[in-house]
Amino acid sequence: MSSDSMIRLTKLRELMKDRNIDAYVVPSEDAHASEYLAPCDARRAYITSFTGSAGCAVITKDEARCWTDGRYWIQAEKQLGEGWTLMKSGLPETPTWGQWLKTDLPSSSRVGIDPTTIPQAESTSLSTSLSANLTNSTLVPITENLVDIIWRGEDSQPSRPSNEIFHLADQFTGENVGSKISRLRDKLKKIGSPGMVISSLDEIAWLFNLRGSDIPYNPVFFAYAILTRDDCTLFASPNSLTDKVRQYLHNNGIALLDYCQIWNSLGSWQKRLIIERSQPQNTKQEAVVDVDMDGEEPASKRVKTDGQSDKEKEEKIIKSDKVLIGMKTSWAIAKSIGEDNVEVRRSIIEEFKSKKNATEIEGFRQSHIRDGVALAKYFSWLEEQLKMDMKLNEYDAALKLEEFRKENKWFMGLSFETISSTGSNAAIIHYSPLKENSKIIDKNKLYLCDSGGQYLDGTTDVTRTFYFGSDDELSNLEEEKRAFTRVLQGHISLDSIIFPQGTTGYILDILARKFLWLDGLDYRHSTSHGLGSFLNVHEGPQGIGQRISYNEIPLIEGMIISNEPGYYSQGKFGIRIEGVDIIVRAETRNNFGNKGWLSMERITMCPIQTSLLQQDLLSPFEKSWLNDYHAEVLDKIGPLLKDDERALRWLKKECRPI
């Protein structure tokens, strides 16, 4: 690995020299700002050898630095190749990579980046920062990714997938594509915008009620979309489109173009916008994208809808006559349509998608019940195996859990790579076991399992921490038991909160941490993320955490969020307790300020191990919460385990009241 790292850095620096570049930035994201990547887009992992999902690499002629947050510090320290320096994002003494470029590079430096891998908003901010304070440095778009050149030269870069796309029926989505397009067009008309470019893959999948498998664990496909007041075009690989999907799109007035044709269409739209703006105001024509396609009928057949429109109360509309692009849309997209022709704002689709409809919400409830059945079968099996002193490694255990999930109706795959971790490995927040050198699970140490499934009717994400050893050994784990109790208290505190509408996740975050803080403990990750409906397991814009961006988005009825405080003692153990909640309307005695009040409906159905608790720390309310939760789990999961004596026996044991 060390040799490969230095060879690749040398080749990259040669390419930088050829292009007169003083620094080259390699973000983690692909052209769609995806969190999880297709193998062909894992450029930062290829050049650094660090495989965590978050981070950014910066290479100069003398240095190579990689920034990542606290979830991945331990992993990055182990994986970074020779010649790399780890930059621990979030520490007061650690500058951001943008700040470092500004302060450590010589003046008049040229900073190169693939414009498809940085959002337009970030490129504008970075360009301004680099040129300020007499540094006079410049951000330079490098259209051919330099890492790809090296990777292809080794004949090892995977090809871009174009797996089959399929239609997700209305029985799972709760809203047809015509209705969604109609709602978006209503919003565009209110704003005054001629249209929008959609580049986030989960937004495209949601809008068209289509799913794919181009990215592991995420049921999405590579595509772009353009929606105007009159036309709608999907840009996707022809190889991924079946005749059935083509007909479905045609019937809904959606034109098709090849994935790569997005750039020509944006260029054509830019020309039309220039002509439009040169016309007198009274003859101004609405901009329409040229979407005619060889062998396909243009989108002249307009989408038929059910007449529904957005019914938001007293909606505040910020007017704009520009093309709308989302906060994550790439600099390359903006350059192709003309940076003066676009307005960056929070995606309308992201806003619509985060509020689940009644069908989606019920799907979440039911998929979590089925998922709970698989978890009961798995943990009961694992406990039995370990008590018989069977040698099981983390990787094989994770495969067994997947086998149990596969038994469930509508299971479509995992929602992320299973975190199956024993002892000190559980302190690595996003640890995933490798087949080659997976650790044997030690029954006398804590075992942390964070896993999830993709179902046609919902997406699951659950973490439980268990101990499977003897009571004598358990009595020695005082530090672990106290930390476990503090984590559970934070989980209960957040789960049981009632809060007024308009409250953000930034405000609620302290609830999950306050009991850990009593002992001087904390964790280096957010407390909560949104979840997609048979979509990405991490979905914005909602979340609960210490990021200031979480203060921009109020939590609203119908959002789905996780609840996952934890604690990680490096080199010793890790604890996390995670469930999923629906934000629902709360009935309160009063309604101060006529605000309306909200609460959490827990839907994850898996016991929380009571033998790990230091019960004298728990209040009567917390004990009651835990007993009520376990009664609910037993009531919903127990009848579905009547044919699995081992799992049912285990479930009854773990759900006994304290």
pLDDT band at 543 (very low <50, low <70, confident <90, very high): very high
**Does residue 307 have a pLDDT over 80?**
no
Q: What is the mean pLDDT of residues 181-190?
A: 97
pLDDT band at 276 (very low <50, low <70, confident <90, very high): confident
Residue 439 sits in the same domain as residue 535: yes
pLDDT band at 278 (very low <50, low <70, confident <90, very high): confident
Sheet strands (E) in 51-106: 56-60, 64-68, 85-88
Residue 220 sits in the same domain as residue 343: yes
Cβ atoms of 375 and 456 closer than 8 Å: no
In a domain, 513, yes or no: yes
Beta bridge partners of 451: 462
Tokens encoding 590: 């009063």
**Does residue 569 have a pLDDT over 80?**
yes
Q: What is the mean pLDDT of residues 501-524?
A: 98
In a domain, 418, yes or no: yes
Q: What pLDDT, on a 0 to 100 scale, did the predictor assign at position 555?
A: 98
Of 127-141, 232-246, 562-576, the one with minimum mean pLDDT is 127-141
Beta bridge partners of 599: 584
Residue 408 sits in the same domain as residue 544: yes
Q: What is the mean pLDDT of residues 47-66?
A: 95
Residue 551 sits in the same domain as residue 419: yes
Q: Environment class of residue 196 by beta-carbon count within 10 Å: exposed (0-12), middle (13-18) or buried (19+)?
A: buried
Q: Which residue has the tokens 């870069």?
A: 157
Cβ atoms of 227 and 47 closer than 8 Å: no
Closest CA to 186 of 285, 304, 311: 311
Residue 196 sits in the same domain as residue 344: yes
Residue 336 sits in the same domain as residue 402: no
In a domain, 389, yes or no: yes
Q: What pLDDT, on a 0 to 100 scale, did the predictor assign at position 333?
A: 98
Residue 564 sits in the same domain as residue 541: yes
Q: What is the distance between the alpha carbons of residues 183 and 352, in angstroms, rounded to a whole number?
A: 9
595, amino acid identity: K
Three-state secondary structure call for residue 19 = coil
Total domains in the chain come to: 3
Helix (H) or strand (E) holding 447: strand 447-451
Q: What is the mean pLDDT of residues 182-194?
A: 97
Domain boundary among the residues 106, 127, 153 is at 153
**Does residue 20 have a pLDDT over 50?**
yes
Q: What pLDDT, on a 0 to 100 scale, did the predictor assign at position 591?
A: 96
pLDDT band at 2 (very low <50, low <70, confident <90, very high): low
Residue 135 sits in the same domain as residue 189: no
In a domain, 158, yes or no: no
CB half-sphere exposure, 442, CA atoms < 13 A: 13
**Does residue 112 have a pLDDT over 80?**
yes
Q: What is the distance between the alpha carbons of residues 515 and 78, in angstroms, rounded to a whole number?
A: 31
Domain boundary among the residues 329, 352, 375 is at 352
CB half-sphere exposure, 392, CA atoms < 13 A: 26
pLDDT band at 370 (very low <50, low <70, confident <90, very high): very high
Mean pLDDT, all residues of the chain: 93
Q: What is the mean pLDDT of residues 437-458?
A: 97
Q: What is the mean pLDDT of residues 123-137?
A: 86
Residue 313 sits in the same domain as residue 369: no
Q: What pLDDT, on a 0 to 100 scale, did the predictor assign at position 335?
A: 97
Q: What is the distance between the alpha carbons of residues 457 and 401, in angstroms, rounded to a whole number?
A: 20
Q: Which domain does 7 fall in, by range?
A: 2-153
**Does residue 120 have a pLDDT over 60?**
yes
Q: What is the mean pLDDT of residues 453-458?
A: 98
Tokens encoding 427: 């302190």
CB within 8 A of 541, min separation 6: which ones? 346, 350, 351, 354, 530, 549, 552, 553
Tokens encoding 51: 């495989």
CATH code (residue 6): 3.40.350.10
Closest CA to 376 of 564, 657, 646, 581: 646
Q: What is the distance between the alpha carbons of residues 527 and 494, in angstroms, rounded to a whole number?
A: 10
In a domain, 483, yes or no: yes
Q: What's the 3-state SS for 403-426? A: HHHHCCCCEEEECCCCEEEEHHHH
Tokens encoding 415: 């929602």
CATH code (residue 405): 3.90.230.10
Q: What is the mean pLDDT of residues 184-197?
A: 97
Residue 172 sits in the same domain as residue 308: yes
Domain boundary among the residues 153, 180, 202 is at 153
Provide the percentage of residues in the chain whose pLDDT is more than 70: 94
CB within 8 A of 639, min separation 6: which ones? none
Q: What is the pLDDT of residues 172-185, one digit of tens each?
A: 999 999 999 999 99
In a domain, 33, yes or no: yes
Q: What pLDDT, on a 0 to 100 scale, did the predictor assign at position 381?
A: 98
pLDDT band at 268 (very low <50, low <70, confident <90, very high): very high
pLDDT band at 151 (very low <50, low <70, confident <90, very high): very high
**Does residue 645 have a pLDDT over 50?**
yes
70, amino acid identity: G
Residue 444 sits in the same domain as residue 413: yes
pLDDT band at 297 (very low <50, low <70, confident <90, very high): very low
In a domain, 658, yes or no: no
Other residues' Cβ atoms within 10 Å of the Cβ of residue 359: 16
Range of 78-92, 119-133, 310-324, 479-493 with top mean pLDDT: 479-493
Q: What pLDDT, on a 0 to 100 scale, did the predictor assign at position 283?
A: 47
Residue 260 sits in the same domain as residue 375: no
**Does residue 287 have a pLDDT over 70?**
no
Q: What is the distance between the alpha carbons of residues 290 and 198, in angstroms, rounded to a whole number?
A: 16
**Distinct helix (H) and strand (E) counts, the chain:** 20, 28
Q: What is the distance between the alpha carbons of residues 316 and 339, in angstroms, rounded to a whole number?
A: 25
Q: What pLDDT, on a 0 to 100 scale, did the predictor assign at position 425?
A: 96
Q: What pLDDT, on a 0 to 100 scale, did the predictor assign at position 212?
A: 98
Q: What is the mean pLDDT of residues 290-297?
A: 41
Q: What pLDDT, on a 0 to 100 scale, did the predictor assign at position 310?
A: 43
pLDDT band at 148 (very low <50, low <70, confident <90, very high): very high
DSSP 438: P
- Distance of alpha carbon 3 from the chain centroid: 33
In a domain, 627, yes or no: yes
DSSP secondary structure string for all residues of 333-348: HHHHH-GGGEEE---H
Tokens encoding 523: 């964790």
Q: What pLDDT, on a 0 to 100 scale, did the predictor assign at position 121?
A: 93
